[in-house]
Amino acid sequence: MILVKKNQGTYENGLLVSYSYLHKDGSVKEPINYETTLVNRKGVFYTNDTNKPYSGPIFSLYEDGEKKDEGTYKDGEQDGKWVEWYENGQKEEEGTYKDGEQDGKWVEWYENGQKEEEGTYKDGEQDGKWVEWYENGQKEEEGTYKDGEQDGLWTYYRKDGSNEKEGYFENGLKTHKWWYWDENGKYYHIIKIGLELDIIPLLGELASKRDAQLDGVLNNVVGEQMRNPNSNIFTVFEKEFSIQDIKLSRYYHLYGASADEIITALKIEVDNANNRILEILQNRLDQFGVAEPTIKNQGRQRIIVELPVAHAFNATDAVFVQDAKRTRFLLQSTGLLEFFLVKDVNTTNEILVKIDQALKGNETIADVIESASVEEVEETKESNDQTVSVSELFGETEELGASSDSEVVDEDMFAERPFSSMLRNLGQEIGIPEKNAYAVKKILERPEVQEKLAAVGGTFLFSHKAEVYFDEKIYSLYLLEDKAELTGEVVEEAKANLGPRGSTSVGQPIVNLTMNSDGARKWSIVTGSNVGRRVAIVLDKRVRMGLNIREKISNGRTLIEGIANINEAKDIAIVLNAGALPMSVNIINERILKKYVE
């Protein structure tokens, strides 16, 4: 009997370190053990005795001699069918490679032989249908990939085989409505947002004339509403006129002769404005792409908005928070676009001096600086709901609030120039350090300051966000004419875009504005009569940009620059195209709720 050696190997310290199959003539037979005979150089495998990438079949073994994996290399990279095994001999995974990347069908198994997952790769990325199973054989999840990202419908199951959740992905992100299952059935998550309408300013605008006495009445109504939020605003409104012995007809004679007629007519005006707000908000959310939003009145002063969300709220989910912040802008932005001429530098300097003179020596100004703080809004909370705060839900907003640090004020300068000492010179513009913004805002609201501004026909407005100058965040402050030259009513179309070549905003997000014929005519007159001056484009009482008028613009076109990103540009365009709200709205509460499907 002739014995023929079939394989050979080498042990060191009891461990198998090399292993080869042999031909009958004793020569080494392919495949070869790549772990002992090939060298890995930056992901490409070479034979020990050559400088060429290896091509051919390979294998590797566990320490006990059981096969670990086998496959083929082509030019030093995995190519063709590959199989891997557990130590118990059970297959672990199987699939194909192409040019070093997984390509085609792949299957993985648990050590007990139960299939774990199955799907396809394309050029190294998951692509097409994929299914995963629990170790007990129940399906865990199934859906499709596209270019390595989850895309399309995905369904998830519990270990007992019951449905857990189902929804859609787009480029790896959850989108649209997602459904969930619990012991009560199928449901989805909604954000329920409470909006409060600011009726008082509208009542002021409806008056046939406006004076200090009417403003006093309106301020008293605001105060009473703050003390008793659930009080009927028209009851408080009428009562305040009675207390001050003022007839409603003095300011609202166009709406009737008697108090009852006037109140009834004003209620109709508010209801009409309310319905207009519902229509505009619906239009904005439709353009934004929110699926199935619900918007309805809750009494005369509040609106409830319900928005389906892609998944249960997670404050750390940056994408969701970003979209929620955009939704907040769409719900709260009045959408009031205005074009104001900017006062010249001399007038601005003169008014700063006059304000300083009016405030100098006034001890209450120092109190304003010391006590400047942001008033926190108490959010409505309800038990048994996943209630979160507005700041958690939408992220921090760019408000003119006091910083936790002290105001940037030099004491000696403040004594001489109590207002301008809080400002900075930014060349063409006035700067306000973010830490001083709230105090400056409160000073500008003071009657003696408003009197100085009225004397020159001017108004101060802030920029819409703070910019960094020399490691300090600073708002710009603009002194504008007190009457807008044009409003957003003349804008026929607003379109988000990227600045074209040859422009100062090349490649940057912008909003192109096209005006109607009336707007084009007025814009032509404004620009033609004010060459050399600056004009401020203002949205919701914040200056979006200030531009120099270099020549007459007759085509009724202009643009808004200085926008952070294309999404912000799109949102501004949506708000402008939908039209301005007839009165401002504020988010007062929000909750995340389950909504069951019947």
Tell me whether residue 119 is in a domain.
Answer: no
427 and 557 fall within a common domain: no
215 and 327 fall within a common domain: yes
Grade residue 4 by pLDDT with cuts at 50, 70 and 90: low
Where do runs of H (alpha helix) occur along 117-258?
199-206, 212-227, 233-243, 249-252
Q: Provide the token pair at 383.
A: 């038990």
Grade residue 368 by pLDDT with cuts at 50, 70 and 90: low
Q: Could you report the per-residue pLDDT of 160-179, keeping only the tens digit for each?
A: 999 999 999 988 888 777 89
pLDDT given for residue 30 in this prediction: 63
- Identify which of 27-41, 49-63, 96-110, 441-455 has the greatest average pLDDT: 96-110
Q: Could you report the per-residue pLDDT of 37-49, keeping only the tens digit for each?
A: 888 888 899 987 7
DSSP-derived 3-state class of residue 594: strand
221 and 280 fall within a common domain: yes
Grade residue 115 by pLDDT with cuts at 50, 70 and 90: very high
Tell whether the model's pLDDT for residue 82 goes beyond 90.
yes
pLDDT given for residue 2 in this prediction: 53
298 and 273 fall within a common domain: yes
Grade residue 382 by pLDDT with cuts at 50, 70 and 90: very low
**What is the number of alpha carbons within 13 Å of residue 310 lying toward its C-beta?**
19
513 and 417 fall within a common domain: no
Show Cβ contacts of residue 131 under 8 Å, excluding neighbours closer than 6 positions.
117, 118, 119, 139, 141, 142
Please provide the distance, in angstroms rounded to a whole number, between the alpha carbons at the two ends of the chain: 81
Report the alpha-carbon distance of residue 124 to residue 43 in Å, rounded. Answer: 15
570 and 446 fall within a common domain: no
Q: Which string of b and e fits 506-525 if b means at least 16 CB within 10 Å?
A: eebbbbbbbbeeebbebbbe
Angle between helices 199-206 and 259-288 (to 10 degrees): 120
What amino acid is encoded at 240 in this protein?
E
Q: Tell me what the mean pLDDT of segment 315-321 comes to.
A: 43
Residues forming a β-bridge with 45: 40
CB under 8 Å, gap of 24 or more: what pairs does 240-244 form?
Answer: 241/217, 244/213, 244/216, 244/217
Tell me whether residue 155 is in a domain.
Answer: no
Residue 528's domain comprises 486-578
Last residue of a domain, one of 481, 507, 525: 481
279 and 245 fall within a common domain: yes
Residues forming a β-bridge with 298: 302
357 and 280 fall within a common domain: no
Tell me whether residue 385 is in a domain.
Answer: no
**Cα-based distances in Å from 116 to 103, 138, 152:** 19, 10, 22
Where do runs of H (alpha helix) occur along 108-153?
none
Picking from 20-34, 237-251, 340-354, 416-430, which range would have the lowest pLDDT averaged per residue? 20-34
Tell me whether residue 17 is in a domain.
Answer: no
351 and 472 fall within a common domain: yes
Tell whether the model's pLDDT for residue 414 goes beyond 80.
no
Q: Tell me what the mean pLDDT of segment 82-101 comes to.
A: 95
The residue count for the chain = 598
Grade residue 379 by pLDDT with cuts at 50, 70 and 90: very low
Q: Tell me what the mean pLDDT of segment 74-103 comes to.
A: 94
Q: Tell me what the mean pLDDT of segment 278-305 comes to.
A: 85
pLDDT given for residue 369 in this prediction: 62
Q: Could you report the per-residue pLDDT of 334-347, keeping only the tens digit for each?
A: 888 999 999 999 99
In this structure, the number of other CB atoms found within 10 A of the CB of residue 205 comes to 12
Tell whether the model's pLDDT for residue 415 goes beyond 60.
yes
pLDDT given for residue 380 in this prediction: 34
Mean model confidence pLDDT for the chain? 84
pLDDT-above-90 percentage for the chain: 48
What amino acid is encoded at 131 in this protein?
V
Tell me whether residue 436 is in a domain.
Answer: yes
pLDDT given for residue 376 in this prediction: 33
Q: Could you report the per-residue pLDDT of 206-217, keeping only the tens digit for each?
A: 999 989 899 999
Q: Which string of b and e fits 46-82 if b means at least 16 CB within 10 Å?
A: ebeeeeebbeeebbbbeeeeeebbbbbbbebbbbeeb
306 and 247 fall within a common domain: yes
Tell whether the model's pLDDT for residue 570 goes beyond 60.
yes
Q: Provide the token pair at 481.
A: 């004419």
Tell whether the model's pLDDT for residue 33 goes beyond 90.
no
Tell me whether residue 158 is in a domain.
Answer: no
CA triplet 499, 503, 504: central angle to 5 degrees? 90
Find the CATH number of the domain harbouring 269: 3.30.70.3400
Tell me whether residue 156 is in a domain.
Answer: no
pLDDT given for residue 373 in this prediction: 45
Tell whether the model's pLDDT for residue 312 goes beyond 70.
no
pLDDT given for residue 242 in this prediction: 93
pTM: 0.64
Tell me whether residue 85 is in a domain.
Answer: no
> How many domains in the chain?
3
pLDDT given for residue 173 in this prediction: 84
Tell whether the model's pLDDT for residue 565 goes beyond 90.
no
pLDDT-above-70 percentage for the chain: 84
Tell whether the model's pLDDT for residue 363 goes beyond 90.
no
Grade residue 20 by pLDDT with cuts at 50, 70 and 90: low
Question: Which has more pLDDT, 365 or 311?
Answer: 365
- Identify which of 107-116, 322-331, 364-373, 464-473 has the greatest average pLDDT: 107-116
470 and 451 fall within a common domain: yes
